[in-house]
Amino acid sequence: MEMIGGLGLAGLALYFVLRPLFDHDLVGRGSSADTDLEALFAEREALHRALKELDLDREMGRLSAEEHQAQRRAYLLRVASLLQEIDQRSAGAEQSATAEVEARCPHCAYPRRAEDRYCPQCGAPLQKPA
C-alpha cells in the first residue's frame, strides 16, 4: 500500500519535471513571474486531483486508514505551502503592476521618469510619483 502512494508521488513529480518539455504553449508566454504563477496554480490543481484519487483509493480499500491519513497530510501540507507562495507572488505582481501604471502619463500613458515635471509626449503637467 505504501508503494502505491510512493508511486503516486513519484508520478506527480515526474509530471512536473517533464511537462515543460512537451508543453509548447509555455514557449513565448508572458513574463517569467506569470509563468511561475501558472505553474504554481497547475501544481495546486494536480494536488487537488491527487487528493481526490487518494480518497477514492481509501474508499475502495486500497489504502489503510493510517496510510491514507499520512499521505493526505503530506498533500495538504504541500497545498498550504503552495497557497502561501501564490499569495506572496500575487502580491508582488500586483505591486509591480501598480508601479508600472504610476510610471506613465495619466493623459497619454507615455512612460515617464521620476524627475519629469511634464510629459515628454503630450506636454501635460505631471505630479511627482508617490
Confirm if 5 and 67 have CB atoms less than 8 A apart. Answer: yes
- Burial (CB < 10 A; 0-12, 13-18, 19+), residue 60, is exposed
71: left (phi over 0), alpha (psi -120 to 50) or beta: alpha
130 residues of the chain, pLDDT tens digit each: 778 878 888 888 878 777 777 765 544 444 566 678 889 999 999 999 999 999 999 999 999 999 999 999 999 999 999 999 988 888 766 666 666 656 778 778 788 877 888 888 888 888 775 5
Whole-model pTM?
0.49
Confirm if 46 and 12 have CB atoms less than 8 A apart. Answer: yes
Pull the grid cell for residue 63. 489504502
